[in-house]
Amino acid sequence: MKTTKEYWNTLAEENSGMWEVIEGSDGNLTQLTIAQDPSSGDYTRLTKFKDGYCTKCFGEKSHNYPEEIFVVSGRLYDEAFDQWLEPGFYASRPPGEIHGSFTAEGEVVILEVSFPSQAV
């Protein structure tokens, strides 16, 4: 069962210290896991991109499990799809779908819901 927490503002300044820097991003990418199921590995996470950051150093990505993403703020260019993703954009990615690399325009926040328990 996923962890639960009462209402809290994940983007509020007083919670900025909870965000973790993603290794290899020189502080340009941070993440905040907001719910997780320790037994299944499923999780819900926010990822934040600094304005102008490009993830080419990480290359394209794919997972052997499904994931959903929702753009909360900013614009994000997905090179694999040759498409700008704007606030309100949603995707439900099947296992193995290639996405990225990404380029941020403005500070970008993405909501990600991942299901490692459904790995193929």
- pLDDT tens column, 85-110: 999 999 999 999 999 999 999 999 99
Torsion angle, CA of 75/51/55/81, rounded to 10 degrees? 10
**Tens-digit pLDDT profile for residues 30-85:** 999 999 999 999 999 999 999 999 999 999 999 999 999 999 999 999 999 999 99
CATH of 18-51+67-118, picked from 3.30.1180.20, 3.40.50.800, 2.60.120.10, 3.40.50.720, is 2.60.120.10
pTM for the complete prediction?
Answer: 0.94
* Extended beta strands in 23-101, E state: 29-36, 43-49, 67-78, 83-85, 90-93
